Structure 1
Amino acid sequence: MPNRKFEGRKFRRQHSIKNYIVDFYCPEEKDSKRDLELQQLGFTVLRFENKMVFDFLHRF
């Protein structure tokens, strides 16, 4: 598998966004922009790994 990182950021190829296909997509960059916008609106952003959600979902 090729290294899909550039300057420490992971990129995906041929990613769908709404009605568009982008050649390269960096989810970390999008997430940080979205997080900043949500924080500016007064929200707190929490992140959990998928494994944590699925392993502990039954507790709630």
Structure 2
Amino acid sequence: MKKAIIVGSAISVIGLMLVSCSSTPEATTTTTRQTTVTAAPPPPAQTTTTTTHMSGSGY
């Protein structure tokens, strides 16, 4: 029973190694164009000015 578990584990490890080795990308001669994208500057902070006029009763 233990031997079957060890053999099964070894086969699965070897299988994973073969799959990972076969999925490595091949060297290609394609060139990629690199573009730089800059974010727009944030809008200026809007400040609100509240002016309170105190006037006496002019009656």
The TM-score normalised by the length of structure 2 is 0.31
Q: Which has the higher helix share?
A: 1
> Which of structures 1 and 2 has the bigger CA Rg?
2
The TM-score normalised by the length of structure 1 is 0.31
Q: Which has the higher strand share?
A: 1
